[in-house]
Amino acid sequence: MGCVHGKCCSRYPSSTDSESGGYGEMGSCRNATSKHILTQRSLEIVPVPSQNYEMQYSVFTQRGYYPDSPDKENQDSFCIRTQIQGNPNVHFFGVFDGHGHFGTECSKFVKNRLAEILANDPELLDDPVKAYNSAFLTTNYELHSSEIDDSMSGTTAITVLVIEDAIYVANVGDSRAVIAVKNGNRIVAENLSSDQTPFRKDEYERVKLCGARILSVDQVEGLKDPDVQAWGDEESQGGDPPRLWVQNGMYPGTAFTRSVGDSTAEKIGVISVPEVSMVRLTPNHLFFVVASDGVFEFLSSQTVVDMVARYTDSRDACAAIAGESYKIWLEHENRTDDITIIIVHIKGLSNSGAGDTDGTTGASMNPASSRTGRGSSDSSAASGSEIYRSMRSEFTDLQLSMNRSPAIVVPSPSKPRELVGLLIILCN
């Protein structure tokens, strides 16, 4: 599950900051305004000169409220890097939702190394899909080899790589990216990623073949029949989702089927291979959102897009979405998840080249079958978006396991938070 107070790469620098954090390589990025009173962030603008448009973006991250663990850190982190490889047309946005005892360390490690590996790949612009796959697998291997104990800890990752007028979305886990498309008088949400959980039939079957037991907590505790391998949809069963367990143990209990780290869960099919999709931007694409599942657990993609569309300042939208997410969490549970959200507005894109696909591979990914109820997209309208001209990984399911000290815990640690009243006020 997501975490929300992104110990992000760094604060927005005023000049190039190559490796101090997520805002590295921001030489031509400029501030549109002073810091926002609630988010304490500047509104950033970065041009894409080859296509004569610019991106205006903001980010907000909030630590979750966990009354039983008031000292827990926010385990979310985020990374924004502009001018990758010194190219003014290449930019990176990512949200990383850590989990487990060392989830904070895992998310920080991954957000730094993934961006660094991508930036140093000489084939990035020639084959972004191959570069993405290689970066995820290498980062996973390095995390296993690091001093961080990732036996029962790891992170999800949802990332967007902008290359001129194309965006490549790589996803591992259950955070999400969604794009807003103008369709007549409507603004339609289209998912750019598909949540990787046992609710998805393809992911369920894959991890079963790898030896995972798939049971909800109620089934594990004997309150429900473990032989009934049907959990409905996430709207009705999101409170007790199907989880992955080893055959003869009560661990690891992950509710996702892909992540970076989680070396114990890796042995039963949890892999770091991303699903990668490509969208060719058109003037009808208004903005995209990259967020942890702290946002999408209770808010649908369409609801999030509708909220962003109400605000002229994306920082106001970030704060409002975080506040609404927080409020709804507390209506359902006695705690909240961490919440991290990046909003990127696309400004001034012309029709030149719109609608082309990249044809990187003939493989396809199922369109946004992620959450069919709670947190799902409310729309299935065709908008002409070249969404999911997508590239499912051609890499084999690499198992890069290392023996670590065993632990028997179910991920979803508690986390603290302080701005209770502030975020709830935003919703009223």
**Domain boundaries in the chain?**
43-195+273-347, 197-255
Q: What is the pLDDT of residue 418?
A: 37
Question: CA-CA distance, 81 to 24, in Å (whole number)?
Answer: 5
Residue type, 34: S
Angle, helices 103-119/128-145, rounded to nearest 10 degrees:
140
Spatial contact of 159 and 357, defined as CB atoms under 8 Å apart: no
Residue located via tokens 């970076």: 260
Q: What is the pLDDT of residue 42?
A: 77
**pLDDT above 50 (res 425):** no
252 prior amide bond cis, ω within 30: yes
* Average pLDDT of the segment spanning 133-142: 98
**pLDDT above 80 (res 191):** yes
10: phi then psi, degrees, rounded to nearest 5: -175, 180
Spatial contact of 130 and 36, defined as CB atoms under 8 Å apart: no
Task: Tell whether the torsion through CA atoms of 78, 83, 87 and 90 is positive or negative.
Answer: positive
Per-residue pLDDT band at 30 (split at 50, 70, 90): low
**pLDDT above 90 (res 410):** no
**What confidence tens digit (pLDDT) does each residue in 65-106 have?**
999 988 889 999 999 999 999 999 999 999 999 999 999 999
CATH 3.90.550.10 correct for 43-195+273-347: no
**What confidence tens digit (pLDDT) does each residue in 242-259 have?**
999 999 999 999 999 999
Residue type, 43: L
Q: What is the pLDDT of residue 303?
A: 96
* Average pLDDT of the segment spanning 278-303: 96
**pLDDT above 70 (res 382):** no
Return the minimum-mean-pLDDT range out of 30-39, 176-185, 270-279, 351-360: 351-360
* Average pLDDT of the segment spanning 119-140: 97
* Average pLDDT of the segment spanning 391-415: 33
Question: CA-CA distance, 346 to 56, in Å (whole number)?
Answer: 7
Question: CA-CA distance, 357 to 379, in Å (whole number)?
Answer: 22
Prediction pTM value: 0.78
Q: What is the pLDDT of residue 236?
A: 54
Return the minimum-mean-pLDDT range out of 169-173, 175-179, 297-301: 297-301
Question: CA-CA distance, 272 to 393, in Å (whole number)?
Answer: 11
* Nearest to 371, CA basis, from 256, 259, 244, 224: 256
**pLDDT above 60 (res 385):** no
Q: What is the pLDDT of residue 352?
A: 59
Q: What is the pLDDT of residue 18?
A: 30
Judged on CB neighbours under 10 Å (0-12, 13-18, 19+), 114 is buried
Strand partners, 308: none
Question: CA-CA distance, 244 to 325, in Å (whole number)?
Answer: 26
Q: What is the pLDDT of residue 350?
A: 83
Per-residue pLDDT band at 227 (split at 50, 70, 90): confident
Q: Which residues of 405-428 are buried (b: 16+ CB within 10 A; e: fewer)?
A: eeeeebbbbebbbebeeebeebee
- Higher confidence at residue 339 or residue 350? 339
What rounded mean pLDDT belongs to the chain? 79
Q: What is the pLDDT of residue 87?
A: 97
**pLDDT above 90 (res 291):** yes
* Average pLDDT of the segment spanning 411-415: 32
* Average pLDDT of the segment spanning 31-39: 59
**pLDDT above 80 (res 379):** no
* Nearest to 32, CA basis, from 54, 65, 64: 54
Q: What is the pLDDT of residue 395?
A: 40
**pLDDT above 50 (res 261):** yes
Sheet holding 44-48: strands in order across? 30-31, 44-48, 53-62, 339-347, 285-291, 176-183, 186-191
Strand partners, 30: 45
